[in-house]
Structure 1
Amino acid sequence: MSVEDTVAVRVLLADDHPVVREGLCAILESDPGIEVVGQAGSGEEAVTLATRLLPDVVLLDLRMGGMDGVAATGHILRQAPRSKVVIVTTYEDDSDILRAVEAGAAGYLLKGSSRAELIEAVHGAARGGTVLTPSLATKLFRARAVEPAPLSARECEVLRLVSQGLTNADIGRELFIGEATVKTHLLRAFKKLEVSDRTAAVITALERGLLA
Structure 2
Amino acid sequence: MKVLIVDDDQLVCESLSILLEGERDIHVMGLAYNGEEAIESCKVNQPDVILMDIRMPIMDGIQATRQIKKQWPHIKIMMLTTFEDEKNIRLALIAGAEGYLIKSSQGTDMANNLRACVKGNAILDEKALKEIMEPKGYDLAQLTSREKDIFHLVAQGCSNKEIAQQLFITEGTVRNTISIVLEKLQVRDRTQLAIHYWKVK
Structures share fold, TM-score greater than 0.5: yes
1:152 corresponds to 2:145: yes
- 1:91 corresponding residue in structure 2: 83
Higher deviation after alignment, 104-113 or 143-152 = 143-152
Contact 2:84 2:127 in 1 (8 A): no
8 Å CA contact 1:87, 1:109 repeated in 2: yes
User: What is residue 108 of structure 2 aligned with on the other side?
Assistant: 116
Give the CA deviation at 1:54: 1.4
For residues 79-123 of structure 1, the C-alpha deviation after alignment (integer angstroms, 9 at most, x for no partner) is 211100001111111101111111111111111100111101110
1:78 aligns with 2:70: yes
Partner of 1:60: 52
Between the aligned partners of 1:27 and 1:65, the Cα distance in structure 2 is 25
Q: 1:27, 1:127 → 2: CA distance?
A: 21
Question: In the alignment, residue 152 of structure 1 is paired with which amino acid?
Answer: S
Q: Does the 8 Å contact 1:17/1:41 carry over to 2? A: yes
Deviation string for 1:143-168 (max 9, x for gaps)? 49997696633999xxxxxxxxxxxx
The CA deviation at 1:49 is 0.8
CA distance in 2, matches of 1:133, 1:82: 22
Task: Give the one of 122, 126, 130 matched to 1:130.
Answer: 122
The one-character-per-residue Cα deviations of 1:47-92 (angstroms, maximum 9, x if unpaired) are 1111221111011111001211111100111121110000111111
Summarize the Cα distance change of 1:144–1:79 in structure 2 as closer, same or farther, 3 Å threshold.
farther
Alignment partner of 2:130: what SS?
A: helix
The answer on whether the counterparts of 1:85 and 1:106 sit within 8 Å (CA) in structure 2 is: yes
Gaps of 5+ in 2: 150-201
Rounded Cα–Cα distance in structure 1 between residues aligned with 2:116 and 2:147 = 50
Q: With the length of structure 2 as denominator, give the TM-score of the two structures.
A: 0.67
Query: Kindly tell me: are residues 118 and 152 of structure 1, through their superposed partners in 2, closer, same or farther at Cα, counting changes over 3 Å?
Result: same
Which amino acid in 1 is paired with 2:80?
Answer: V
Kept in 2, the 8 Å contact 1:10–1:57? The answer is yes
- Runs (4+) of structure 1 exceeding 2 A deviation are 141-156
Bigger Rg, structure 1 or 2: 1
Alignment RMSD (CA, Å):
2.4
Q: What corresponds to 1:102 in structure 2?
A: 94
* 1:35 has 2:27 as partner: yes
Q: Is the alpha carbon distance of 1:145 and 1:104 closer, same or farther for their aligned partners in structure 2, counting shifts above 3 Å?
A: farther
